[in-house]
C-alpha cells in the first residue's frame, strides 16, 4: 500500500492562524514528525506517534517521514509555511535522491502564514509593492552569495524580508548585511524588527536603516527592510503604520 505524507505549515504560532485543512491533516496522521518546538504546538491525539528531531537534521527527518509514509499516513510540521526555508524542499530533495518507491507516495503540502506576512500584517503593508525574501543563514549557501543578493535586491528596489538573521553560530552576518544595504539605500529607509510575531512574547520595533541595530534581532526575529518609497504614518494614540505604496515611480 502506498501512503501519504502531509507537509503542514503551522503559521507563526497562534492556533487560529493554522488553516482548518492543516489541522484536519494533523488529526488524520498516524505519526507526526518535526522539530521539537513545532511538534509541541500540535495538539496531542491519543495513539499518534511523535518523532521530534533536532533543527539541523532536516534531510534525515524528511527521509524518516518518507519511509514511514510508504505504508501509512504521516504528517511533517514546519513553522510558518513549509515551503519557505523549511521542510517541503527537504522532502522534495529526499524524494529526488531516494528509492523509486517514494515517488509513489502522495505528498500534500498545506500552506501556512509565513513570518514575513505575519509581521507585515502587524505593522500595515510594508510589502505592498514588489518584494523578496532572503535567508541570512550561510549554512546552506556561501556568504558572498548572500551579500550579492542583498545588494542586487536593494538596487532593484525590492522591499525585503530577512529570515534567519542571527544565531550563536552566525553572530556577525546581520551587521555585515545591514552595512551592504546602507551602501545602496537611504538611511531613513524604514526597517521593522519582529520577534516571535503573533505569539505571546511578540516584540515589534520600527526603526530606520541608519539606526538598525543587529542586537535587536535573535533567532526568532524576522526583519523587513523597506524601499526608498516606504512610508511611516505616525498616529497619536496608535502604533505607526508602515506601508510601501502600490505605485512605484518610473
Tell me which residues touch ligand SAH (CB under 6 A).
12-13, 78-81, 84-86, 114-115, 163-165, 194, 196-199, 219-222
Is the Cβ of residue 25 or residue 245 nearer to ligand SAH in the bound state?
A: 25
Q: How far is the CB of 220 from ligand SAH (least distance, A)?
A: 5
Is the Cβ of residue 181 or residue 197 nearer to ligand SAH in the bound state?
A: 197
Q: How far is the CB of 249 from ligand SAH (least distance, A)?
A: 30
Is the Cβ of residue 188 or residue 213 nearer to ligand SAH in the bound state?
A: 213
Is the Cβ of residue 164 or residue 173 nearer to ligand SAH in the bound state?
A: 164
- CA angle, 13 then 18 then 24, to 5°: 135
DSSP of 128-176: SSSEEEEE---SSS-HHHHHHHHHHHHHTT-EEEEES--BTTB-SHHHH
Q: How far is the CB of 9 from ligand SAH (least distance, A)?
A: 7
Residue nearest to ligand SAH (CB): 80
Could you give the 3-state DSSP secondary structure of residue 116?
Answer: helix
All three cell numbers of 210: 541608519
Rounded Cα–Cα distance for residues 160 and 1 (Å): 45
Q: How far is the CB of 88 from ligand SAH (least distance, A)?
A: 9
Strands 221-225 and 203-208, by their bridges, are unpaired
Amino acid at each position: 500500500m502506498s501512503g501519504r505524507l502531509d507537509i503542514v505549515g503551522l503559521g507563526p504560532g497562534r492556533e487560529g492562524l493554522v488553516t482548518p485543512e492543516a489541522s484536519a491533516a494533523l488529526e488524520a496522521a498516524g505519526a507526526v514528525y518535526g522539530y521539537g518546538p513545532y511538534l509541541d504546538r500540535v495538539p496531542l491525539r491519543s495513539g499518534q506517534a511523535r518523532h521530534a528531531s533536532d533543527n539541523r537534521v532536516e534531510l534525515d527527518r524528511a527521509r524518516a517521514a518518507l519511509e514511514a509514509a510508504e505504508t501509512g499516513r504521516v504528517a511533517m510540521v514546519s513553522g510558518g509555511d513549509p515551503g519557505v526555508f523549511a521542510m517541503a524542499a527537504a522532502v522534495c530533495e529526499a524524494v529526488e535522491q531516494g528509492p523509486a518507491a517514494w515517488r509513489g507516495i502522495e505528498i500534500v503540502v498545506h500552506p501556512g502564514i509565513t513570518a514575513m506576512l505575519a509581521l507585515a500584517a502587524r505593522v500595515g503593508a510594508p510589502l505592498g509593492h514588489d518584494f523578496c525574501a532572503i535567508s541570512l543563514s550561510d549554512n546552506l549557501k556561501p556568504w558572498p552569495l548572500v551579500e550579492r543578493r542583498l545588494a542586487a535586491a536593494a538596487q532593484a528596489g525590492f522591499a525585503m524580508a530577512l529570515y534567519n538573521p542571527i544565531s550563536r553560530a552566525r553572530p556577525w552576518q546581520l551587521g555585515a548585511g545591514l552595512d551592504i544595504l546602507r551602501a545602496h539605500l537611504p538611511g531613513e529607509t524604514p526597517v521593522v524588527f519582529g520577534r516571535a510575531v503573533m505569539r505571546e512574547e511578540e516584540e515589534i520595533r520600527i526603526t530606520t536603516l541608519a539606526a538598525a541595530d543587529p542586537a535587536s534581532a535573535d533567532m526568532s526575529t524576522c526583519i523587513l527592510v523597506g524601499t526608498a518609497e516606504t512610508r511611516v504614518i505616525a498616529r497619536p494614540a496608535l502604533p505607526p503604520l508602515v506601508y510601501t505604496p502600490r505605485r512605484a515611480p518610473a
